Amino acid sequence: METIELKVNGRTRTVHCLPNATLVDVLRDHLHLTGTHIGCDTTQCGACTIHVDGDAVKACTVLAVRSDGAEIMTIEGLAENEASHPMQKAFNECHGLQCGFCTPGMIMSAVDLVNKGFASDPTAVREGLSGNICRCTGYQNIVAAVMQGASEMQEQSS
Ligand code: FES
Ligand code: FES
């Protein structure tokens, strides 16, 4: 077993895990943060997307031991003081989800796109979310949600 330390959603956590444990397994099975989903386990669907040191990362592809010391944010850490994050609110208001399985990963990717200035228009959003697969929505409402969430995030930061 390996011992690693992660700062997850602002809280320092010590985890004992197998050397081949993935980051998503550690989040879900060791820390019980099951908002991060596993859809494919092969880096295709994006359901497992989280932020590692400020970048969107597919957590099924990263060995947990490689993240030792990293700062991690999952969907559970996005809301502040129990108020939904603007991107969560926008997905809700724009009906950017149906079954919701892809939604945590979509939202984490969308927030990263906005943070990096890559959500300037619907075409850029579609391009930026090309690593996240949704089986339900047809993407129209997801793109609308990301555009609304981006504008609310920009308003909040100005
Ligand atoms: S579960 Fe990680 S990309 Fe699908
Ligand atoms: S809402 Fe069902 S997979 Fe996207």
Q: Which atom of ligand 1 is nearest to the CA of 41?
A: 1
SS3 content of the chain, % helix, strand, coil (to 5): 40, 20, 45
Instruction: Compute the distance from residue 138 Cα to the ligand 2 centre, in Å.
Output: 9
Q: What is the pLDDT of residue 64?
A: 98
Domain ranges of the chain: 2-77, 86-157
Task: Check for a shared fold between 2-77 and 86-157.
Answer: no
State the CATH architecture for 2-77.
Roll (3.10)
Instruction: Compute the distance from residue 102 Cα to the ligand 1 centre, in Å.
Output: 10
Check pocket membership of 78 for ligand 2, CB cut-off 6 A: no
Give residue-wise pLDDT tens across range 80-90: 888 999 999 99
Q: Which atom of ligand 2 is nearest to the CA of 135?
A: 3
Is domain 86-157 annotated with CATH 1.10.150.120?
Answer: yes
Instruction: Compute the distance from residue 38 Cα to the ligand 1 centre, in Å.
Output: 5
Instruction: Compute the distance from residue 142 Cα to the ligand 2 centre, in Å.
Output: 10
The owner of tokens 């992660």 is: 6
Dist CA 14 CA 113 (whole Å): 30
Give residue-wise pLDDT tens across range 5-47: 999 999 999 999 999 999 999 999 999 999 999 999 999 999 9
Residue nearest to ligand 1 atom 3, measured at CA: 43
